[in-house]
Amino acid sequence: MTREAWWITIPKAFVVINVVMVFFAFTTWLERKLLGRMQLRFGPNRAGPKGLLVPIADLLKLIRKEAFAPMAAKEPLYIIAPVVSMFTALAAFSVIPWGNGWTVWGHHIEGQVVNVPISLILIFALGSVGIYGFIIGGWASDSKFSMLGSMRTCAQLVSYEVSLALSVLGVVLMAQSINLVEVVQKQQTTLWFFIPQFVGLAVFLIGGTAETSRPPFDLPEADTELVAGYHTEYSGMRWGLFQAAEYINMITLSGLCVTLFFDGYHFPWVPWLDQFGPIWFVLKLFALVSTFIWLRATQPRLRYDQLMRFGWKVLLPVATVNALATAFLVVLVK
Amino acid sequence: MANFLVWVVWFFAAFACLASALAVVSFSNPFYSALALIGNLASLAVLYLLLSGEFVAAGQVLVYGGAVMVMFLFVIAYLGDRTDESPWSGGPSWQIVGAILAGGAILAEVCVVVGLKAGGFLSKPQHVGRSFGSPEALGRAFLTDHLLAFEVTSIVLLVAAVGGVVLGSHTRRESDARA
């Protein structure tokens, strides 16, 4: 296979970043609309047809707000924290495959921004760096609520990261690769991994909900207890960056879930439809994102001790046993 | 061209590594020191990347740069700002002895490397294949050549985990008795 030229990769990265941003913007719209419908309301319906221009209106509002900082804030860190979160959130999407690769006028275009042999670990590494945005933001604000919020975020993300990584181990063992492209290709020749790895999928979805601080695991910003958590002192577009990072993390996590368990861009049974990979990828992504929103509409928030007990005493053992059983079966079948 | 690029990246990574290491010991606020340590670990990861150790670099960022340093920051932020009563502003005299010893060790190492280089002992290029540093090659090395070290490390981790549980349960029993 020929390698892709660098002058294709750079504009492609630009396009992918912007597509992800647009997807994020309309995820906020979708979330409000779905939440509204599930709670017997209309949801946004004033700005544009069906309220479709609400994300644009939000953006304009946030950008035009005054960007102030508390007097006691550590200014450089206070400003850099949302940037770190946003950067890692966007960067993680670069290794997720969304297409089979095409050849246009003799130039090869790969179906992902970059294809590195360790892509799965890269996503987890970026995720663990992304936590710094939350903890630095909370600390640099120099406010008790922010501080408590960032402590909670940190404890929750570190706890559930372990289960999340272990839940993926089963898929890695079955695919015998930590390269996401190879994981997708392996699923085309065998089963989609959500069938043999249904325990892994369940742990991944629960751990992923906690990892992206989505309800019912939105303890980091429990508004009844913490005002707004680590971003209490943020406003305007800096707050917007934090919010964007959270949504993009959710989208990346859904993309990772699609890749690992639902065979990414692949269309079942009809091989020639694979060239329209991005369409199937986005459809699967849309279904998963809607599931996350559905969870938010229907589940009450956990108490903090319940969250910790569930993470360490239920999710982690289940993920470990699943990984061990998968390892045993993989060796046995071989 | 490629060599020049490697050289430029190496220059910046090495410089960042030294600068952040100095920053770790010169900040009086421990939170900033911990942040500098993250920078140090990250620039080390870049150096690993230059040595084709992709997996090691990602592991470095994931485990040390991510999980371990988050714990550092967590504890430092939890204890609050204690810059004025910190033992490291000023510091007892044995720390100076330790610093001189560590500095001497680094100086000796630099001298040895420079001497080896001058004597031509270092100019033996090793062949680096495509699979070098890949997760497969690393896993095979762990389970064949370095099996003993691998297993002993897991026992060390087990001891640490058991120690954590013992410490945690001990404090809980005491607080129960008091209540």
Confidence (pLDDT) at B169: 78
Q: At A237, list the tokens.
A: 């577009």
Decide if pLDDT at B52 tops 50.
Answer: yes
Summarised one tens digit per residue, pLDDT across range A8-59 is 888 888 988 999 999 898 899 999 888 888 888 888 888 878 888 888 888 8
- The parts of chain A modelled with pLDDT lower than 70 are 1-3, 222-224
Pairwise CB contact (< 8 Å): B62 & A155: no
Cα separation of A261 and A191, whole Å? 10
Q: What is the pTM (predicted TM-score) of this model?
A: 0.84
**Contact check, Cβ <8 Å, A135/B61:** no
Evaluate whether the domain defined by B1-82 bears CATH number 1.10.540.10.
Answer: no
Residues contacting residue B94 through CB under 8 Å, at least 6 positions apart: none
Among partner residues A117, A124, A131, which is closest to B54 by beta-carbon distance?
Answer: A117
A-to-B residue pairs, Cβ atoms closer than 8 angstroms: 60
Give residue B92's pLDDT. Answer: 67
Q: Percent of chain B scored above 70 by pLDDT? A: 85
**pLDDT tens, position by position, A88-102:** 988 888 888 888 777
Mark yes or no for CB contact A128/B66 under 8 Å: yes
Looking at residue A4, its pLDDT comes to: 73
CB-nearest to B70 from A117, A135, A139 is A135
Distance CA B29, CA B56 (A): 30
- Would you call B67 an interface residue with chain A, using a CB distance cutoff of 8 Å? yes
- Give residue-wise pLDDT tens across range A100-111: 777 777 777 777
- The predicted pLDDT at position A62 comes to 87
**Residue A1 pLDDT:** 47
Which of A228-232, B102-106, B175-179 is the most confident on average? B102-106
Residue with more model confidence, B45 or B129: B45
* Residue A69 vs residues A76, A85, A138, A244: alpha-carbon distances, Å: 11, 18, 13, 19
Is residue A221 classed as helix, strand or coil in its secondary structure? helix
**B167 confidence band (pLDDT: 50, 70, 90):** confident
Distance of residue B10 Cα from the nearest chain A Cα, in angstroms: 21
Reply yes or no on whether the pLDDT at B111 is more than 80.
Answer: yes
Lowest average pLDDT, out of A1-15, A206-220, B13-27, B99-113, goes to: A1-15
